[in-house]
Amino acid sequence: MGLGPTYSMGLGPPLPRGFAPFSCKKRAAWIQGNLEKEYSLIMEQSLQPAICLHKYPRSQIEVYVMVLENDGSTLAAALTCASIALAEAGIEMFDMVVGCSLRQCGDVSLLDPTAAEEYSAASSQAVNNGSLTVALLPTLNQISGLVSKGEWEEQTSVEAIKACIEGCQKLYSVVQQCLTKSVKRKIPQLVSKD
């Protein structure tokens, strides 16, 4: 199974870059950087447990992610969008993957922070200063991916993980509504019979 950009699960070649050059605060070149490679691995590890891979023994599933505007919480948004795209494509899944991120700066917790909030908090020298992204399988109540950066006290990190899980659960109902509307648009004759 391959997930792009370079979100490969071992079966596909590296895929194109994930951030458009104009998507971030500082304009980037069209070559793939370390951030894209890191996100590639995280997305692979987070999406793989959700997909019924045994149903596709000799298949390659590719998900291409291109970030056109990075306004913060990019990895969490990409995880959720990739999961929705897989479900929309009819790929059998055990559960959806919903991502949520948190930025901790001292005593201040920012759930799904904007890019400006991420950048301003990064320069802080507070004791609890870090970021956290959680990928959750909401129905199964399992974490499929967790990325943490920075310095955290134990209790603060536990509370941050709980906050991200709650954020994922709240977002899951929105994801369900979007998928339901999509199915109703695709099959209007079946919906009208009910």
**Digit-coded pLDDT (tens) for 20-48:** 555 566 665 555 566 677 777 888 889 99
| 4 occurs within a structural domain | no
Q: Is the pLDDT reported for residue 183 higher than 50?
A: yes
Choose among 12, 87, 91: nearest CA to 44: 12
Q: How sure is the predictor about 64, in pLDDT bands with cuts at 50, 70 and 90?
A: confident
What total number of domains does the chain contain?
1
In a domain? residue 90: yes
Q: What is the pLDDT of residue 33?
A: 62
Nearest to 17 by CA among 7, 26, 25: 7
Residue 185 domain-assigned?
no
For residue 78, give every residue at least 6 positions away whose Cβ sits within 8 Å of its Cβ, in sequence order, or none: 18, 39, 43, 65, 67, 99
- Does an H or E element contain 143, and which? strand 142-151
**CATH (domain of 53):** 3.30.230.70
The domain in which residue 95 lies consists of 34-173
Could you tell me which of 91, 37, 58 has the C-alpha nearest to residue 83?
A: 91
